[in-house]
Amino acid sequence: MSSIPLSQQASARPRASADPAYLDGLNPEQRKAVETTEGPVLVLAGAGTGKTRVLTTRLAHILATGKAWPSQILAVTFTNKAAREMKHRVGSIIGEAVEGLPWLGTFHSISAQILRRHAELVGLKQSFTILDTDDQLRLIKQILEAENIDAKRWTPRYFASLVDGWKNRAMTPDRIPEEDKWKFADGKAGDLYKLYQERLSVLNACDFGDLLLHCITVFQENADVLADFHRKFRYVLVDEYQDTNVAQYLWLRLLARGSNNLCCVGDDDQSIYGWRGAEVDNILRFETDFPGAAVIRLERNYRSTGNILAAASGLITANKARLGKTLWTEDDPGEKVQVSGLWDGEAEARFVADEIESHVRKGGKHDDIAVLVRASWQMRAFEDRFIMLGLPYKVIGGPRFFERAEIRDALAYLRLVRSEADDLAFERVINTPKRGIGDTSVQKIALTARSAQVSMAEAARLMTQTDEIRGKARTGLIAFLKDLDRWREQAEAMRHDELAEVILDDSGYTAMWREDKSPQAAGRLDNLKELVRSMGEFDTLESFLEHIALVTDADRMEDGDEISIMTLHAAKGLEFPLVFLPGWEETVFPSQRSMDEGGTAALEEERRLAYVGITRARERAVITFTANRMIFGRWQNVIPSRFVDELPPDNCEAKSETGYYDAGPGFEGVSEPSDPFRSSYESPGWKRFQASKAAGRRADPGVIDGKAQLIESGDASSVGGQSKWKPGDRVFHQKFGYGVVKVTDGAKLTVAFDKAGVKKVVASFVGEAP
DNA sequence: TGGGGGCACCTTTTT
DNA sequence: GGTGCCCCCA
């Protein structure tokens, strides 16, 4: 870091006007947001109003005017990518001197930093591990098993979501509301939560929510520690304030109380994390929470064309709960937002790919383009199509690199070598690859460990001295423990990426995948190589593990001329010249599931998501919907999203030239796919389209030959003691195809399915009378 | 102990 | 279409 004070660096630059260069080109509101540095400030920044610019300039301004050193600024973003971006942009304004903005990061990464220093205050060791969702679920499963709770009726997943909810609201086990205790296992929720926290403590681990919650505890119970941070942080900045939850709010309030120089930037119309406990209320309440707060509104949009902005604004007015603002732009109206109806998902992907090809033909680039979906399962169709046409793309989000089984296995080995007490890691790799140590043996080890109050590895060591475990399991166990010892010795002398390679080879893990003949095996081996490579970028194993615990795939976004496929959530904060918004159908978007859970509030959040989607576009937005959608392997008729109807007609153009749907004005008529030379007419969707057209039907769910009845797995075979089916009945099953009922035997039903021309009994259905 | 067949349930969205 | 669980057999 340069030793020249930043103020001098900035003022040393020759300037024509009295203002520093970084203030050039800011509009009056933006400038006010930059220069109002003292006291609480709320910046209500609509989409595309230069929010990031304001934030970075403000940071630069504070540094350049010598109000604070980089280490005295706490700046919180929602993603690591946003943090990096901000660091980079501040750097380019100010010179290189900002490498050391040590307190710029996400809520979670900053919390982890704080907690590493003060872990002992919440009963953890400095070396605590951060559990990911998978570890967390396995831990919960173990607890439920130990407590004899039926994991079928009360799923670990649901319990995890409850815990998450409590932690989002900053509730420790002793503070949860009485009624919440009855949300799980007949009133045992509170006790289980307590048990869970105790287990975490024993494992010297914490989950994601704990990072924040423990910090809050540290601040609340240790006035001296908090006072230290107050002295340290002269300025506090928060991005995406609309998405903060109660815990984050408390965390912020505790830290900002020192200087009172708190600046929050957000947009209530872009609050899309309600399901994660975000409270739009935080932003609506800001002036009450921080008396004397300056409120600055940024309403001039610099990003999108007039039509795009108008379409998004028109849509969002359907929401009741909002502060309300009027975004405006001086840009020309540009193209209207295009709305297209397609036959099915395949046609939709074909259509989008065709549009992309024509964009590129006209000189556009692939990385101008984003495909923004509601849920990750929708990505697949686009990937398939892009691969087929050789279009370069990247998926952001989706199954994450560090959550893949092979990566997690490899990491478990490393964790175990680093700390033998890591029971979760021990259980994960004890029999991967197979060492003949089955469930029974693992259970025995776990039992011994529990009663002797030692780690499982320790217990296993003890048990090799006795004859509790015999035969193959014993040999395997002894060899494994010996390996562990050796690796631990080697770890002293070796770089951690070398160590990883050694472990993966010695343990037989690499060999396991090399011998695996399944098509995914090669990819897994590649992933392991990539893991070892990326480990090399870190100085220590610790820093690497910390990194992967806190970083998501969205943060690993690389540059390159590629189309981006991502969820709407992941697209927050990004912009693209051309944006595709597929899947605008009821039940898909707005998501049925979210509406079932959250009612009107959820619907409004879905609408904000639509708003975020449209406003990502600079020049052109294309919305599509289909008539038939494959959901959970089953064809469904779907209708256009209500959001399609809510779009202001003047700014949109309905183009239903491809595919077919009859959904009112603008969408009537049947037509054929646009580009017969590129399209696969043998696709199921196309066949159904043809069949349906011939039959004069409007939309065909894939109904069968007129005689067969639809049968489902688990279909009730007897109703009121009387079988619903009789031998000889013709049936159709979505997975197995056509079939004939052979035997109805009480609760069991045997069907012979005729698949690929071969008669074969492939299933019997068991059902209960209603 | 481990593999294979047969099935149920499934999925939002992420730090 | 994919996964994870249960049950049965070698």
Nearest residue, CA→C1' of B15: A108
Please say whether the beta carbons of A227 and A263 come within 8 A.
no
A636 as an active site residue: the answer is: no
Please say whether the beta carbons of A282 and A238 come within 8 A.
no
A30 as an active site residue: the answer is: no
Please say whether the beta carbons of A237 and A43 come within 8 A.
no
Q: Which residue in A239, A368, A546, A729 is the catalytic one?
A: A239
- CA A444 to C1' B6 (Å) is 30
A270 as an active site residue: the answer is: yes
Q: How far is Cα A12 from Cα A254, in angstroms, rounded to an integer?
A: 37
Q: How far is CA A768 from CA A43, A198, A718, A729, A749, in A?
A: 59, 41, 7, 19, 11
**What is residue A698's predicted lDDT score, i.e. its pLDDT?**
38
* CB distance under 7 Å to strand C: residues: A 152, 632-634, 735
**What is residue A142's predicted lDDT score, i.e. its pLDDT?**
84
- CA A764 to C1' B3 (Å) is 21
3-state SS string for A639-673 = CECHHHHHCCHHHEEECCCCCECCCCCCCCCECCC
pLDDT tens across A369-407, in order?
A: 999 999 988 988 898 788 778 888 888 876 667 777 888
Name the nt closest to A593 by C-alpha to C1': B12
- CA A763 to C1' B4 (Å) is 15
pLDDT tens across A191-239, in order?
A: 999 999 999 998 899 999 999 999 999 999 999 999 999 999 999 999 9
Tokens of A144: 């439920």
Counted residue by residue, chain A has a size of: 770
Name the nt closest to A375 by C-alpha to C1': B12
Q: How far is Cα A313 from Cα A317, in angstroms, rounded to an integer?
A: 6
**Cis previous bond, A70, omega within 30:** no
> A221 CB contacts (<8 Å, ≥6 apart)?
A121
Task: Return the closest-CA partner of residue A33 out of A295, A221, A424, A372.
Answer: A295
What does the DSSP assignment read for A732-763?
A: EETTTEEEEEEEEETTEEEEEEEETTEEEEEE
Residue A174 contacts strand B, CB under 7 A: no
Q: Does pTM surpass 0.75?
A: yes
Q: Which residue in A270, A432, A624, A658 is the catalytic one?
A: A270
**What is residue A722's predicted lDDT score, i.e. its pLDDT?**
56
Q: How far is Cα A203 from Cα A423, in angstroms, rounded to an integer?
A: 7
pLDDT tens across A316-346, in order?
A: 999 887 877 778 887 789 999 998 877 778 8
CB-contacted nucleotides of strand B (7 Å): 1-3, 6-15
Residue A211 contacts strand B, CB under 7 A: no
- CA A713 to C1' B9 (Å) is 11
- CA A763 to C1' B7 (Å) is 9
Q: Which residue in A29, A30, A49, A51 is the catalytic one?
A: A51
**What is residue A347's predicted lDDT score, i.e. its pLDDT?**
80
Nearest residue, CA→C1' of B5: A762
> Which residues partner with A640 through β-bridges?
A585
Residue A133 contacts strand B, CB under 7 A: yes
Q: Maximum CA pair distance of chain A?
A: 93
- CA A435 to C1' C9 (Å) is 21
pLDDT tens across A46-57, in order?
A: 999 999 899 999
List, for chain A, all residue ranges whose pLDDT scores fall below the cut of 70: 1-18, 96-99, 398-400, 517-520, 552-559, 633-637, 655-724, 731-739, 742-770
Name A residues 345-364 whose Cβ lies under 7 Å from strand B. none
- CA A508 to C1' B1 (Å) is 19
Name A residues 414-473 whose Cβ lies under 7 Å from strand B. 431, 434-441, 472-473
Residue A512 contacts strand B, CB under 7 A: no
Nearest residue, CA→C1' of B6: A763
**What is residue A8's predicted lDDT score, i.e. its pLDDT?**
43
**What is residue A621's predicted lDDT score, i.e. its pLDDT?**
96
